[in-house]
Amino acid sequence: MNRNSMIICRCEEVEMDTIIETLRSYSCTPRELKLRTRAGMGVCGGRTCRNLIQTLYSEVTQKHVSHSVPLKYQPPVRPLTFRELEGKK
């Protein structure tokens, strides 16, 4: 398997070469990278790939990840009542 075709974000199926190419083309921050590629915006909310994205950012740009605007993740949570879980109205 080619390392660059490795999928970094499983939810959005974003490959490593897409992330690297985007970083080189746009010189973007990790947050901008997320918005341009959708990596980290899938069902898991970035819990799986966030660290990989930040690591790739550091490797490609030779910059440390700024935590002034952190690349956050959001759990896919929506409040439900027990009644909704039970299937009753």
Residue numbers of the domain that contains 79: 3-86
Q: Please give the average per-residue pLDDT across 75-82, as a whole number.
A: 70
Spell out where 1-89 has E strands: 7-9, 14-15
Pairwise CA distance, residues 32 & 57, whole Å: 11
**Site of tokens 């997320």:** 34
How many whole angstroms separate alpha carbon 70 and alpha carbon 7? Answer: 22
pLDDT of residue 84: 79
Number of domains the chain contains? 1
- pLDDT tens by residue, 25-59: 998 888 899 999 999 988 888 888 988 998 999 99
Kindly tell me if the per-residue pLDDT of 72 is higher than 70. no
User: How confident is the model at residue 37, as a pLDDT?
Assistant: 96
